[in-house]
């Protein structure tokens, strides 16, 4: 057994797991609040304490742990081991020496990787991408993250920034995305974008059970509620997922013509809609690719769920060593 720690640094929670990187099995895991508003120093101290407590609660010795991988939600300098811009954490963490701080506090070699590249690595090695040499991942949640595996290698690009598939531009006249660019697919098909379509339908008075399901409390409208309405046969709700799938399919078409992936994996909370989202993506993809054998590209749901990131970044730490 080769045991490594994988950690997901989230805006709400710190989630850490001891992973057997030979088979992707999560052996033991813990989760605590991030308390990000206390500042980066406090969060890093809590993270180091979490790792040591995790080892202790698993009744393991530190010597049995090969290293630590941390999935980071934003931009970092992989060579220096610093965070550069974490948009979902207060203060955005500019030039914070996360890698070296954790290594010093725990006595374990530590490695960083973008959180969705971590999911990509996990799904490729042990999940829906296993056995495929070229894979693209769209992780759809609060935003749309992405990752690429090209010719059996996780693609990092300059400083680990390669693979930001959610910021593929699908309409240069479109709305401004959170990244500052106009018309990114994230602005059209992320969780908040799907929610906004549901809100608009209710406010416009369209005939839909979304209003009844949220009991006219607009704050209760979520992608999950809209998906449930669609599964119950609501045409407005089905059309919302049809549109989201169409937009993601456009972005996926661009990836197909660029790198020719064998599989496109849809991950993240919104992917729980299943075929409601996957089938429109497939139709849109096939309608918009004509210069490669798109019928050979499979669009599938991720397999590892919430564990993909911790498994992927633990594996990354192992590979880096």
pLDDT tens by residue, 186-214 = 999 999 999 999 999 999 999 999 999 99
Residue 301: predicted pLDDT = 98
CA separation (Å) from 243 to 68, 117, 236, 284, 316? 40, 26, 11, 10, 35
Residue 9: predicted pLDDT = 97
Rounded to an integer, what distance in angstroms lies between the CA atom of residue 120 and that of residue 309?
8
Q: CATH code for 130-302?
A: 3.30.420.40
Q: How many helices (H) and strands (E) does the chain have?
A: 10, 11
Q: Which residues of the chain have pLDDT under 70?
A: none
Residue 88: predicted pLDDT = 85
Q: How many other C-beta atoms can be found within 10 angstroms of the C-beta atom of residue 232?
A: 11
**Contact in structure between 148 and 163 (CB atoms under 8 Å):** yes
Residue 321: predicted pLDDT = 86
Rounded to an integer, what distance in angstroms lies between the CA atom of residue 89 and that of residue 273?
28
The answer to pTM > 0.85 is yes
**β-sheet bridge partners, residue 137:** 147, 265
CATH 3.30.420.40 intervals, the chain = 3-121+307-320, 130-302
Fold of 3-121+307-320: Nucleotidyltransferase; domain 5 (3.30.420)
Cβ burial 161-189 (10 Å sphere, 16+ → b, else e): ebbbbbbbbbeeebeebeeeeebbbbbbb
Dump the DSSP string for 40-80. HHHHHHHHHHHHHHHHHHTT--GGGEEEEEEEESSEEETTT
**Contact in structure between 270 and 140 (CB atoms under 8 Å):** yes
Rounded to an integer, what distance in angstroms lies between the CA atom of residue 243 and that of residue 231?
16
Q: Which two tokens stand for residue 198?
A: 């549901």
Rounded to an integer, what distance in angstroms lies between the CA atom of residue 195 and that of residue 163?
25
Distance of CA 151 to the CA centre of its chain: 21
Among 271, 278, 279, which residue's Cα sits nearest to residue 302?
271
Rounded to an integer, what distance in angstroms lies between the CA atom of residue 272 and that of residue 259?
26
pLDDT tens by residue, 20-78 = 999 999 999 999 999 999 999 999 999 999 999 999 999 999 999 999 999 999 999 99
Rounded to an integer, what distance in angstroms lies between the CA atom of residue 127 and that of residue 129?
6
Rounded to an integer, what distance in angstroms lies between the CA atom of residue 306 and that of residue 120?
12
Residue 1: predicted pLDDT = 87
Residue 160: predicted pLDDT = 87
**β-sheet bridge partners, residue 146:** 138
Q: How many other C-beta atoms can be found within 10 angstroms of the C-beta atom of residue 108?
A: 21
């Amino acid at each position: 057994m080769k045991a490594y720690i994988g950690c997901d640094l989230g805006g709400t929670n710190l989630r850490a797991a001891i992973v057997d990187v030979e088979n992707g099995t999560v052996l033991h895991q813990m989760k605590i609040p991030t308390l990000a508003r206390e500042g980066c120093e406090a969060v890093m101290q809590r993270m180091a304490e979490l790792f040591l407590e995790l080892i202790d609660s698993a009744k393991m010795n530190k010597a049995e742990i090969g290293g630590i991988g941390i999935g980071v939600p934003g931009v970092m300098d992989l060579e220096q081991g610093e965070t550069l811009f974490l948009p979902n954490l207060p203060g955005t963490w500019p030039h914070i020496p996360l890698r070296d701080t954790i290594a010093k506090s725990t006595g374990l070699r530590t490695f960083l990787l973008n959180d969705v590249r971590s999911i990509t690595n996990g799904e490729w090695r042990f999940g829906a991408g296993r056995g495929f040499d070229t894979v693209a991942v769209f992780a759809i949640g609060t935003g749309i993250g992405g990752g690429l595996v090209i010719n059996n290698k996780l693609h990092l690009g300059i400083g680990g920034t390669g693979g930001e598939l959610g910021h593929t531009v699908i309409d240069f006249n479109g709305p401004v995305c959170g990244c500052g660019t106009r018309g990114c697919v994230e602005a059209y098909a992320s969780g908040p974008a799907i929610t906004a379509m549901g809100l608009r339908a209710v406010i416009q008075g369209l005939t839909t059970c979304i209003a009844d399901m949220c009991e006219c409390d607009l704050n209760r409208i979520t992608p999950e509620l809209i998906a449930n309405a669609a599964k119950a046969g609501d045409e407005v709700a089905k059309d919302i997922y049809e549109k989201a799938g169409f937009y993601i399919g456009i972005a996926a078409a661009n990836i197909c013509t660029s790198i020719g992936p064998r599989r496109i994996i849809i991950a993240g909370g919104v992917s729980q809609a299943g075929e409601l989202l996957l089938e429109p993506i497939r139709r849109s993809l096939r309608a918009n690719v004509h210069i490669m054998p798109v019928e050979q590209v499979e669009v599938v749901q991720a397999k590892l769920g919430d564990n993909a990131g911790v498994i992927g970044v633990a594996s990354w730490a192992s590979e880096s060593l």
